[in-house]
Amino acid sequence: MTKKTNFNIPKEVSRVTETLQKAGFEAFLVGGCVRDLLRGKKPKDWDVTTNATPDQIVNLFPKTFYENKFGTVSVVNEDAEDETLRNVEITPYRMEAKYSDKRHPDSVSFTNNIEDDLKRRDFTVNAMALDTVSGKIIDLFDGQKDMKSKLIKAVGNPVDRFSEDALRMMRAVRFATELDFDIEKETLKAIKGRAILLDKIAKERIRDEFIKIIMSNRPDRGMEVLRETGLLKFVMPEIEEGFNIEQNKDHIYDVWTHSIKALKHSADKDFPLNIRIAALLHDVGKPKSRRRDEKKNDYTFYGHDVIGEKMSVKMLARLKFPKKDIDTISKLVRYHLFFSDVEQITLSAVRRIVRNVGPENVWDLMKVRFCDRIGMGRPKETPYRLRKYESMIDEAMRAPVTVGMLKVNGARIMEIAGEKPGPRIGFILHALLEEVLDNPELNTKEYLEEKVMKLSKLTDEKLKKIGEKGKDTKESKERKEIEEIRKKWWVK
């Protein structure tokens, strides 16, 4: 039955549709993979739709697993080299009934009609089906035309479709960004009128679309569209606060423009997600910390790094990012100012930054800084300066920068000084680290053990004071300053 089509369809996939067809069923490739084939791009995954029931599908293939309430059966191709071919998903034709809560269909029902299945899909370019044998495309909503005009257009009445499932508005922006398409006029108008419906959507679903926007080649463009449509207010309202917030004389762009230019650079460099988000958020604390300095006749943004760190934690937690990513991103935001004046940086300051941001994040911090700089419209750093940064970090990393790298550990402290398990051990270790950060050559067993004996004689209170001072003196001072600023400006 195999006939050559113009498309490059792997045999693992055509075998699936042909097996179904030989057994007397209809079977088509559908959705994203058809769209990507038409663009000449390799699909990320392959979806098949059919009028066979899940039981009938399972009976036709030696190895399958039956997935979810939507009746999707995955055909397993264990030996496929290409990972995207290991599971080919087959979903029976479906139609969706009413959405009374605007986010979940009240019921999913099967249909034996491909037209009903295509009708329920979100956008015309996602609503085409391809017969792998004849090469024919079923295109009821002019998806091919919209591909040519590069348009994301809702299937049917956009107002109704976004009321059924408000996530589709985010998806419209996501596809427009990924594909570099525009959103068709009526579809765009419908989004602008009902962005607020996004408020009802599960944050995890919003996050996943947001991540796809950020990971695209032009996330800055996606962010602009999110803002212009009003959707951004329901994704990350804080980042919008920077819009039109003029900065000091060093900057040619307002906070918003600077942030998305930094984000663009992170994508141009193909940096991973955490760096991209840190580049976007690094100045999110600026609008809340902006003050006018009359003497300088300019704006200041004292403490925007600390405010930005707190805001990032809140924003990312709201979108249900994993705790580990929240930690990393907020640290990158917190310390993004660090590498701004290399001439004044001492090696012990670099060791402290490595301790604060974590040795595993320090190179990423540099990358965030590059994005910051390019986002300001400044030229790239000279190779000389870059080498200087790199060699300083390299050198700093050779010295102990975490308590784990000290030549004594908690067990040894208990053994030689008779300390009991508890917070005193941590205070002693931090006090030791503080000294070693200034003077790495003091990281010897002899010196530290002698020091432990002295510290161990101190009262709880004194020890706590020294240990906590070690943790971060500067930080607590800054926090105080920020509280003052906030009091003054009545922001919480």
Phi/psi of residue 246, nearest 5 degrees: -65, 145
Q: Which of 122, 220, 238, 372 binds ligand ATP (CB under 6 A)?
A: 122
* Tally of CB atoms within 10 A around 155: 21
Helices (H), 52-99: 54-60
Rounded to a whole number of angstroms, the minimum distance from the CB of residue 209 to Mg ion is: 12
Residue 156 makes contact with ligand ATP by CB under 6 A = no
| CA 126 – CA 140 distance, rounded (Å) | 11
Per-residue contact flags (x/-) with ligand ATP for residues 123 to 142, judged by CB under 6 A: ---xx---------------
| CA 368 – CA 40 distance, rounded (Å) | 34
Which tokens hold the place of 447?
């010196």
Which of 399, 420, 387, 401 minimizes the C-alpha distance to 470? Answer: 401
Q: Which of 3, 4, 44, 98 binds ligand ATP (CB under 6 A)?
A: 44
Q: Considering only the stretches 52-60, 162-170, 228-236, 462-470, report the one whose residues sit in contact with ligand ATP under the rule CB under 6 A.
A: 162-170
Number of residues that bind ligand ATP (CB under 6 A): 10
223, 263 Cβ separation under 8 angstroms: yes
Nearer to Mg ion, 94 or 286 (CB): 94
Residue 193 makes contact with Mg ion by CB under 5 A = no
- Which residues make Cβ contacts (< 8 Å) with residue 451, sequence separation at least 6? 432, 435
DSSP state of 123: B
Rounded to a whole number of angstroms, the minimum distance from the CB of residue 84 to Mg ion is: 10
Classify 74 as helix, strand or coil.
strand
Which tokens hold the place of 465?
């004071």
* Tally of CB atoms within 10 A around 63: 9
Helices (H), 138-254: 143-149, 158-164, 167-179, 185-194, 203-214, 219-229, 237-240
Residue 50 makes contact with ligand ATP by CB under 6 A = no
The entry of ligand ATP, Mg ion, none near residue 372 (CB within 5 to 8 angstroms by kind) is none
The entry of ligand ATP, Mg ion, none near residue 126 (CB within 5 to 8 angstroms by kind) is ligand ATP
Rounded to a whole number of angstroms, the minimum distance from the CB of residue 384 to ligand ATP is: 43
Q: Which of 37, 60, 121, 225 binds ligand ATP (CB under 6 A)?
A: 121
| CA 43 – CA 190 distance, rounded (Å) | 29
Rounded to a whole number of angstroms, the minimum distance from the CB of residue 91 to Mg ion is: 11
Nearer to Mg ion, 206 or 399 (CB): 206
Residue 32 makes contact with ligand ATP by CB under 6 A = yes
* 43-82 residues near Mg ion, rule: CB under 5 A: 45
Q: What amino acid is encoded at 131 in this protein?
A: D
- Which residues make Cβ contacts (< 8 Å) with residue 249, sequence separation at least 6? 298
Rounded to a whole number of angstroms, the minimum distance from the CB of residue 437 to ligand ATP is: 46
The entry of ligand ATP, Mg ion, none near residue 352 (CB within 5 to 8 angstroms by kind) is none
Nearer to Mg ion, 208 or 435 (CB): 208
Number of residues that bind Mg ion (CB under 5 A): 2
Rounded to a whole number of angstroms, the minimum distance from the CB of residue 113 to ligand ATP is: 16
Q: Which residue number has the CB closest to ligand ATP?
A: 32
Q: Which of 10, 32, 230, 410 binds Mg ion (CB under 5 A)?
A: 32
Rounded to a whole number of angstroms, the minimum distance from the CB of residue 123 to ligand ATP is: 7
Q: What amino acid is encoded at 476 in this protein?
A: S
| CA 89 – CA 49 distance, rounded (Å) | 8
| CA 423 – CA 401 distance, rounded (Å) | 20
Alpha carbon separation from 93 to 28, 74, 75, 131, 269 (Å, rounded): 10, 15, 17, 15, 41
Nearer to ligand ATP, 166 or 316 (CB): 166
Rounded to a whole number of angstroms, the minimum distance from the CB of residue 174 to ligand ATP is: 8
51, 20 Cβ separation under 8 angstroms: no
Nearer to ligand ATP, 123 or 339 (CB): 123
Q: Which of 165, 238, 309, 419 binds ligand ATP (CB under 6 A)?
A: 165
CA 41 to chain centre: 24
Which tokens hold the place of 170?
């985010």
Residue 87 makes contact with ligand ATP by CB under 6 A = no
Q: Considering only the stretches 38-46, 259-267, 314-322, 463-471, report the one whose residues sit in contact with Mg ion under the rule CB under 5 A.
A: 38-46
Which of 298, 305, 307 minimizes the C-alpha distance to 251? Answer: 298
Residue 167 makes contact with ligand ATP by CB under 6 A = yes
The entry of ligand ATP, Mg ion, none near residue 167 (CB within 5 to 8 angstroms by kind) is ligand ATP
Q: Which residues bind Mg ion (CB under 5 A)?
A: 32, 45
Q: Which residues bind ligand ATP (CB under 6 A)?
A: 31-32, 44, 121-122, 126-127, 165, 167-168
